[in-house]
């Protein structure tokens, strides 16, 4: 699960940068853990994309038990941290 958390951190950071505007100077994903249980594979779909390309969509069931998601917000005033409680019963990850 640490590997998945690390991969998600790398992918989420650029997305958070899009939301830094006004008094919010920067959003930093400080901590992301998805618990201790591995996700269960629930299904998948393979479709044809462009030439020489196939798209594979997989569906996992996440049983979050000790999840932890903390976002650090740097602002023009004081900086602060927010703990987020994700609701991820069933998510599509492509």
**DSSP letters spanning 26-74:** EEEEEEEEE-SSPPEEEEEEEEE-STT-EEEEEEEE---SSEEEEEEEE
**What is the domain range of residue 72?**
2-93
Mean pLDDT of the residues in the chain: 76
Domain count, the chain: 1
**Comparing 26-35, 60-69, 78-87, which segment has the lowest mean pLDDT?**
60-69
CA 38 – CA 56 distance, rounded (Å)? 20
- Banded pLDDT at 64 (limits 50, 70, 90): low
Q: What pTM was estimated for this model as a whole?
A: 0.52
Integer angstrom CA distances of residue 60 from 46, 49, 54, 92: 15, 22, 20, 7
pLDDT over 60 at 30, yes or no: yes
């Amino acid at each position: 699960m640490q590997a998945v958390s690390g991969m998600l951190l790398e992918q989420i950071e650029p997305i958070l940068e899009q939301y830094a505007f006004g008094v919010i100077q920067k959003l930093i994903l400080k901590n992301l853990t998805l618990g201790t249980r591995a996700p269960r594979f629930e299904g998948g779909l393979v479709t044809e994309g462009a030439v020489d390309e196939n798209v594979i969509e997989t569906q996992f069931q996440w049983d979050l038990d000790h999840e932890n998601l903390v976002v650090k917000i740097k602002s023009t005033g004081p900086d602060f941290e927010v703990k987020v409680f994700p609701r991820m019963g069933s998510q599509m990850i492509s």
